[in-house]
Structures are given as C-alpha cells and as structure tokens.
Amino acid sequence: MKKLANRLLLIGILLVAFGRSGFGQVLEDFNDVSDWTVTVGTAALGGSIDTNAVEVQEGLYAGEFNYELSTAQGDDYVFYTKEFQPLLDMNDPNLRLEVYLKMPNDPAMLLQIELIDDSNAFRVIDLGEGDGQWHKVIMDYHTWANYGANLSQIKSIQFRTIGDISSNYTNNTFYVDKMELDYAAPTYNLPTLEDFEDVSDWTVTVGPAALDGSIDTNAVEAQDGLYAGALNYELSTTMGNDYVFYTKEFQPLLDMSDPNLRLEMYLKIPNDPALYSQIWLIDGNDNFREVHLNNGDGQWHRVSFDYHAWMDYGSNPNMSKIKYIRFRSLGDLPPNLYTKNTIYLDKMQLNPVDPATRFIIEDFEDVSDWGITVGGNALGGSLATSISEAQVGSYAGAFGFHHSVKKTFDTVLYTKYISLNLVGAESIDMHYKIPNNISEACQMQILDRSNRYMMYSFPEGDDQWHTLSLKIPDDFGVGAGGMPDLSDIWAVYFWSDGTLVVNPMGGAIETTGTFYIDQIVANICLASHDSNGDCFIDFIDFADLGLQWMQTGTGLSHDVNTDEKVNMTDMDEFASQWLQCGWTNVEKCY
C-alpha cells in the first residue's frame, strides 16, 4: 500500500509539473462545452455556446459564443460561465491567463472577462473593440480590475457580452480557443542608467597632482541615442594623487545584488599608455567594489560587468544599496610624463544575464580586453580574431608568437581578467590547435586575486584541432602558493614559451607561429534538481523529488530555495527545468 501511495503521489506531482512547466495548464479546449452555462439578461434577445471545428486555432475545436442583443439600456447582456472544481488558484504574479480570441467588428457589443471567487466577488477585464481577426490575448496578474475577488479562490470564469447604448440591435458571434494558465518568464523593468543627454548630475573631482578634468556630452561619438559622454582628463602622471573622478549619484539607490544582472555600456578608451582606468560602485557608507579597465585601443566596445566582476578590497559594500558610480582616470607610474585625452561612454544600463553565457570565459568575438606582455628575450607577440579557424562560434583566437629560444625571458604572456566564481564547476572546456613546432610550448594558468593559480601544459603541437575538457582540479597542476580560491577567480593567462630547444652550437634559433584557442567555457551544471549527475532533468530526477516530497529539514537535495522544505516552490523550479540539459557548455548536451 505504501508503494502504491508513493506512485500515486508521483503521478500527481507529474501532473502538476506538466501543468506548471511552460506546457501550460489548459482550462478549456472547447472539445465539450456542456459544462458551460448561458444566462440571457431580461433586455437581451438570445445567447448560446457551441463547439466549432472550422474556426479552430489549436486542437480540434474552438468555442462559438453567439449573442443577440437589443442594446437597450440596463439588462441587455449574455453571460457565459464555466465553474472550476477544485477552485482555481491564480494568486501568483508569475501566472497569466492566455486565450485565443476572435471578436467581430461590432460597435454595438462590449466584451468583458470576469474572474469570480467563492464569495461572488470578482475581477474584470474590458477587451475593447474587435476587428474580426484572431489574436492571442495574455492577461497577467496585474491586468484585472479588482472588485474584491480573492484570486486564490477562483470559482468560475465568465465571458460577458453587453449591448452598447448607441445602437438598437446586434446579432453576432465571438470565438475563443485554448484557454490556459501559463507561467510568464521573469522580467526586469530596467531603465537606462545614463544616456548622456544631460550630464549636469555628474560631479568631477580633480586630484591634487592632476592638472584638469571635465565631463561633457558629445553628439559625434554617439553609439546608441543622441549623445555620448566625454570624460576629459589632463594628467601629469606624477606618482600619488594624479587622478580625476567622474561621479554620478543614484536616487533612489540602485540594487545590484541580483547575480542575474549585469552593468553594460559602450566604452571607448584612448590608446594612452599613461592612463589607467577604473569603475567603482559605492554604497551609502562609502564602501566600494571596482573593476579595472584594460589599456584602450581608441575603438568603441560593448562591455559588460556581471555580479562577479566587481573586486572587493575588504570594504564589503552593500550591493543592494549602491549610491554612486564613479569612473576614475589615473596617471600611470612613469614620472615626468604628461597626457591629455578623452574617454567616451554611451548608454549605461542594467540588463539581465543569461546564466549559461555567464560561464563563457571567452568566445573571441572581441579580444580588445586581452593584454600582451612580451618577455625581454622574446621577439614579439600578437592576438587577433580568426573567422577561418572558428570551430564553435563565429571566431577563434589567434595567438601569435615570435621567440628567440634563449633560455630566460623568452615568453609571451596573454592575459584576460575575468572575475568568475568557479565553485561547482566540473571542468574548463575549449578547442585548441597548436602548430607542429617543437621549440614552442604553451601553458594556461587560472588565477585568483592572491595570484595563486592552477595550470595546464598543452601537449606538443600537431597542427590539428583538439577538444579539451580539463577536470577541476584533477587535470591541473597547482602553483607554489597552493590551490586558487575558486570562488574568486579573476584572470586567465596563456603562456607561449620558447625555451625548450637551444642550439647546441651556440646562438639562438628563432621560431614564429600561431596557436589557436576557441570557446573557453567553465562547464557547470545549472540543473538544480539533477540527482544522478547527468545534468538532464527527467523521470529519474522526478522520482528522486517524489521521495523527498513534503519533507522538512536540512540536507534535502531538492530544497532549491533552502527554506528546509520540499514543496510547490521547489516543484515550480523543477517544472521549469523539465527535459532540459543544464550544462553551461552546450556541446555536452548533445
């Protein structure tokens, strides 16, 4: 009996899962309308409801709602009512009622939909005038005019035709098909933080060792809209207080505590080796986090900073109450230099981030955010995008090297700052192609903010493409400082090293070439209800969820919101993942 009860419980949960997962909970398919009642008002002339196979939009039948109205003032209406058993719970802001609707172009008829609770209080929507065409009508939680109905206890739904008082008689039909409840995808109401049409609310602070700074609007450099922001600086590059601050205050305070939000903007930094740039987020107590901007190339780029990109230097700001954003231009350290130039910004805004793309470390569509350091005995290095060598997306990264093959400092270092949380990551995945060149070696390092790192040395090249999946930490070596803090990864290095072969007769042997990397991805399973490690939500995970259903306490693997209960909140999340693969490296899903 207990096993039977568990099976029945699982079947019940599955029915709910299908009803709540994007397939929708169908309230009416109009295959049978015998459970509808029609009420004709005393001043109306007639009304009926039928099934109609000709007008169908989804399934076999549409509902045909006929009315005949005198348009007399008063009780000139027809009600079409369906009762729900059990009562319907619509008290969820993420739920919406969806119907296909075809209303005639009939100015003598008004149409409403009412939701009626078990005390006969109601909420109502006016549907406006028809045009004789089919439309999908979506009515969310906020759409209904409220006349006291309890949305968690909806007893019936009612379509109501009303005769308009401007005419004398009308006789027509409206059609309805596939009425269902469905869950809306979460949305963000995110205004643009700055369009730079007016910068009067920005303040500029010139450090005591700097020479000047200002902020203006610029119509010529605009990328999105009418204006860009021009952040002008004049720096002496004296060590110390050689800076300019450009600060904007947010009222109300800005909430950036959501890991699914990122700050995006267009950014153009001049090719100025004497300039060092940062962005700060500052709370009301002057605690801040920052990102460092790489050297500029004088080109426009679309840059994006997610929740993990901001470095915290121990001040621990409250990211839910950000009061200021500050751009900081600093004179670089070499003394006795002088620089004067402009940084341009455009359309600064918050946007939601796709959880899967957050873990793409590099897709090589733009490599302007990489730095290159050429060792003292190396002869050169470069980094470019390559369309012809692309394996996964649109581009591969082409890492050029030119080595002298001396024993020391014959290296080229390629650096990208990433700021990423790798806790829970299974592997670092990529495609690579290394030339058949025995005098050149490649290595990758992944570093935390304390410069502790894990590393991988690529095998000798064969000029062929290979797929690489490096298990964390098993496939990596560890630097002298120990294993990096995976929750605070902030840089990835690639090394090209020409020290493997030395000419036994003396002198240097030069070597030049290119190695290619494509689509570096931190592979993490985002399927929170995966119970068997395949990162695909199916009946195996469903059965495991059923075993924990309505249990309480700690350590429940399906308690995804950590409230120490496995209930409908967790079921909603399970349903949203149903029959989906959760690997961030989508190649693992095939």
So what's the pLDDT on residue 323? 93
- Rounded to a whole number of angstroms, the CA Rg of the chain reads 32
Residue 569 CB neighbour total at 10 angstroms:
13
pLDDT value of position 130: 85
What count of Cα atoms within 13 Å lies in the side-chain half-sphere of residue 376?
A: 3
All domains of the chain in start order, with CATH: 1-24+527-590 (no CATH), 31-183 (2.60.120.260), 192-353 (2.60.120.260), 360-523 (2.60.120.260)
- For 312, half-sphere exposure in the C-beta direction (CA atoms, 13 angstrom radius) is 13
396 conformational bin, left if phi > 0, alpha if psi -120 to 50, beta if neither: beta
- Supply 327's token pair: 């751009």
Helix (H) / strand (E) containing 232: strand 228-235
- pLDDT for 16 equals 47
At residue 463, the 3 state secondary structure works out as coil
What residue type is 519 in one-letter code? Answer: Q
Residue 4 pLDDT = 46
* Exposed / middle / buried, residue 44 (Cβ in 10 Å: 0-12, 13-18, 19+): buried
CA atoms within 13 A of residue 298's CA, in its CB half-sphere: 4
Helix (H) or strand (E) holding 568: helix 568-577
Task: Return per-residue pLDDT of the chain as tens, 590 residues.
Answer: 444 444 444 445 454 444 443 345 788 999 999 999 999 999 899 999 999 999 998 888 999 999 999 887 778 899 999 999 888 888 776 678 889 999 999 888 889 999 999 999 998 988 877 889 998 888 876 678 878 888 888 999 999 998 866 667 899 999 999 998 876 655 555 778 999 999 999 999 999 989 999 999 999 999 888 899 999 999 987 767 889 999 999 988 888 877 677 888 999 999 888 888 889 999 988 888 888 776 778 888 877 777 666 776 667 788 888 999 999 998 865 666 788 999 999 999 988 766 556 688 888 888 877 889 898 888 899 999 998 898 887 889 999 999 887 777 888 999 987 777 888 888 999 999 998 876 667 899 999 878 899 999 998 889 999 999 999 999 999 998 899 998 878 889 999 887 555 555 555 568 888 999 998 988 888 777 787 888 888 888 888 888 888 888 888 878 877 778 888 877 877 887 788 777 777 767 76
Full DSSP string of 48-84? EEEEESSS-SSSS-EEEEEEEE---SSS-EEEEEEEE
Question: What distance lies between CA 163 and its chain's CA centroid?
Answer: 47
Contact 72, 145 (CB under 8 A): no
